């Protein structure tokens, strides 16, 4: 399991729930977590810091893949009601930016999970296809903002490690009920 969220409390509760669910069958699931907003108290400050540190090529990429104003300054999500560590505040752009910002950590964690898969598989046979299931809410900001990035990273990492990947997704949008 790879759990990814901006809300630390929900992340911890979800991990504990998964571990408790497998406890009665004596299974030891791999559960890795990534807190996208770890250490980010203000999106405005975080985005400004990244933008200021970027070289010209980096600023060009930000301009191509992020919202910028007429002066070329990036959108900073300044009016979020809460700190990003408490959720993406119904703003998928927040989670998207944080996921791209933590792409190296995401890749490392995904590779750790793949290594765990390798160590748990029988040896001497063919590489079995891996079923990847995405479960995400589309009603808020975090799931809607980061699942596409996670999907691409997971598919890329599995293929680089010789696995065929057959993804499927379950996406929930409470607002339509």
pLDDT at 58 over 90: no
pLDDT at 16 over 60: yes
Report pLDDT digits (tens) over 115-173: 888 787 766 656 667 788 888 888 778 888 888 889 889 989 988 988 887 788 888 88
pLDDT at 43 over 70: yes
Phi, psi of 78 (to 5 degrees): -75, -20
Q: What rounded mean pLDDT belongs to the chain?
A: 83
At 15 the pLDDT is 94
């Amino acid at each position: 399991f790879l759990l990814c969220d901006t809300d630390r409390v929900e992340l911890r509760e979800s991990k504990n729930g998964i571990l408790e669910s497998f406890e009665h069958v004596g299974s030891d699931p791999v559960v890795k977590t990534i807190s996208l907003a770890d250490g980010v108290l203000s999106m405005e400050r975080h985005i400004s810091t990244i933008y200021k540190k970027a070289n010209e090529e980096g600023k060009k990429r930000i301009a191509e893949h992020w919202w910028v104003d007429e002066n070329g300054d990036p959108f900073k999500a300044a009016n979020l009601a809460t700190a990003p560590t408490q959720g993406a505040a119904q703003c998928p752009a927040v989670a998207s930016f944080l996921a791209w910002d933590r792409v190296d950590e995401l890749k490392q964690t995904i590779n750790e999970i793949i290594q765990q898969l390798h160590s748990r598989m029988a040896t001497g046979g063919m590489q079995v296809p891996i079923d990847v299931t995405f479960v995400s809410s589309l009603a808020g900001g975090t799931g809607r903002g980061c699942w596409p990035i996670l999907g691409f990273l997971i598919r890329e990492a599995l293929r680089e490690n010789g696995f065929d990947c057959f993804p499927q997704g379950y996406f929930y949008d409470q607002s339509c009920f």
